[in-house]
Amino acid sequence: MNAVGASVLWSTFWAGGSVLGALSFLLRFLPDQYGSMFSAWVRKCMQYFNSYILFEIPEFYGAGKNEIYDYVESYLSSNTAIAAEHISLCRAKNATHNTFSLGNHETLEDSSFMSTKVWWTHEIHQRMQPGIQWGSEPNDEKRKYFLKIRKADKTRMLEPYVQHVIDTAKLVKERTRDRNLYTNVKDSSFSFRMKAWESVPFKHPSTFETLAMDPDMKDDIKEDLLEFTKGREFYEKAGKPWKRGYLLYGPPGTGKSSMIAAIANFLKYDIYDVELTEVSSNSDLRKLLIQTSDRSVIVIEDIDCSVELAERAKAKKVENKDSPEATQNKTDEKSKVTLSGLLNFTDRLWSCCGSERIIIFTTNYIEKLDPALLRAGRMDKHILMSWCKFSAFRTLARNNLGLEWHDLFPQIEEAMEDKAITPADVSEFLLKKKRNPTAALEGLLEALAKAPSVSEKPPVKTLDFDEINLLAGTIVDANTPPAAEDTDSASETSSSKVEQDTGKDVTSCDVNEPKIESSPAAEDADSEVQPVEQDTNKDITSSSDANESPANAHGSNVSVT
């Protein structure tokens, strides 16, 4: 550069500096409204001369997680280890893969698509919450990615590039992700912009092959699950949320938790274990549901213990209002989640904010649950996990002792016929002497001789579907299709009955939700539970239409011993 050129450059620089200085000086004397307008005009000028455009991708959008943020995170994880300089390297306990991510304020250049350069930047802003001391770990972080591309490339490549990121991220997730077990965060006042769930890799070994239950029943459940996974078109055509409810009930130690793990492993779904005692309100329960992913199993175990779900029969509690149990319920409020809130969670509008979900409730005492929870469309399939029978014992002997047959098996089959012993107890007896199978089986025979009979144990109570729908304000025959045109026929309601289990291994009941006209004497199950006395002289009208699901066209009661 010659002397003249250098002189012109310096003159321009100082002239520009003088102009900016003069403008800054003038801004001091302008009213605020004109100053804001002038600042906006300056920013516009700078953007006009800037050849790049910046896209912000926050972690949260609206009331839930921003899916594009997750896709970008997965997409960049495959390139970060090679191209970036500041890398976050993580590996969760029991995980099978390392996780790479961009560090704070780190920028990564990507030219893998259409030979065009783009730049990704990751930013994390820590927001201190009230009561948090400086130097302690903050409990809220605002995360976002920035995508910078040339303005000239925006129209040509933005949409195709974003789709490329999404498609690649899905492949990366499928190849590297571990299925996770989530639990809700112990904070009743969490914001939807904070993570509502904490997770660990899910490594439970339970499968349907190792599950101690009747083989025919296992096949029935697997078939039902497979039909559900293929039901996208059916649910869209029928106008129903793509979800299915399972109720697992029976004595403790009969394999309800193992069944949940087997279902998750069979479907390859994540599990969300909802601890209702840590949820302070119906609103927080909805926030939890919003932040669950598709293709997941949502579990509420021991639902009869987690929240006070008063059934309609408890309208008679006036008679026992001074009982110790009633006093304890008044003083010990475990959760403010109501029955109506739980029904919103399982069956109403908020249940539609996701697809391909299995919702599972477990309980040891089905009679304690309000019938509104048990209706079709909420809990579609009821599975009784009862005492250990010989078919279940065969699975336990194979799992624990490696035995397909033994000379003592006939004696065990005969001894087990009418004994109230759980699969967990049988498994424990076998494990005590697993190195000596004969001694283990002899010990089991001795235990069976001392075990109480089924008749000596409190019966496992069940409700048939006529009774469930009657108590919920409707009645329908779950085994017989309704008449095509007889919509005016009425059925006389009967008083509530409780069937006693007489030694069945597993009972599975599958029902549909028909279009029902509610009885004038019964309150609709979707409303808040109010004390209602059952009037056995009222007529309840049943609709003639029943919706057929891909899993089962009509309800069925299956007993396997």
Beta-strand pair 99-102/197-201: unpaired
Instruction: Say what the pLDDT of residue 491 is.
Output: 38
Gyration radius of the chain's alpha carbons: 31
Mean pLDDT of the chain: 74
pLDDT of 540 over the 60 cut: no
The mean-pLDDT minimum among 166-170, 228-232, 285-289 falls in 285-289
CA–CA gap between residue 11 and residue 286 (Å, rounded): 64
The mean-pLDDT minimum among 11-20, 178-187, 195-204 falls in 11-20
Backbone angles phi, psi at 144, to 5 degrees: -160, 155
The mean-pLDDT minimum among 156-170, 190-204, 241-255 falls in 190-204
Strand partners, 52: 150
The mean-pLDDT minimum among 92-106, 273-287, 384-398 falls in 92-106
Q: Residues 385, 263: contact at Cβ < 8 Å? A: no
In the predicted model, what is the mean pLDDT of residues 491-517?
Answer: 43
Q: Please, where are the H alpha helices in 366-488?
A: 371-374, 390-401, 409-415, 423-432, 437-450, 465-471
Map tokens 């949320």 to a residue.
241
Confidence band of 134 (pLDDT split at 50, 70, 90): very low
Confidence band of 407 (pLDDT split at 50, 70, 90): very high
Structure tokens at 404: 């397909």
In the predicted model, what is the mean pLDDT of residues 404-426?
Answer: 94
pLDDT of 139 over the 90 cut: no
Strand partners, 61: 64
Instruction: Say what the pLDDT of residue 144 is.
Output: 94
Confidence band of 10 (pLDDT split at 50, 70, 90): very low
pLDDT of 352 over the 90 cut: no
Structure tokens at 31: 């009213």
Instruction: Say what the pLDDT of residue 461 is.
Output: 64
The mean-pLDDT minimum among 63-67, 81-85, 152-156 falls in 81-85
CA–CA gap between residue 77 and residue 161 (Å, rounded): 17
Q: Residues 407, 271: contact at Cβ < 8 Å? A: no
Strand partners, 491: 540
Structure tokens at 6: 């250098």
The mean-pLDDT minimum among 186-190, 253-257, 443-447 falls in 186-190
Q: Quick one: what percent of the chain has pLDDT higher than 70? A: 63
Exposed (0-12), middle (13-18) or buried (19+): which is 56, by Cβ within 10 Å? exposed
Structure tokens at 33: 């409204």
Confidence band of 280 (pLDDT split at 50, 70, 90): confident
Instruction: Say what the pLDDT of residue 85 is.
Output: 74
150: left (phi over 0), alpha (psi -120 to 50) or beta: beta
Map tokens 């920028």 to a residue.
107
| pLDDT tens track for 320-338 | 555 555 544 544 444 578 8
Tell which wins on pLDDT, 349 or 222. 222
Beta-strand pair 52-58/60-61: unpaired
In the predicted model, what is the mean pLDDT of residues 378-405?
Answer: 94
Confidence band of 464 (pLDDT split at 50, 70, 90): low
Beta-strand pair 197-201/180-184: antiparallel
Query: What torsion do the CA atoms of 22, 28, 32, 38 make, to the nearest 10 degrees?
Result: 10
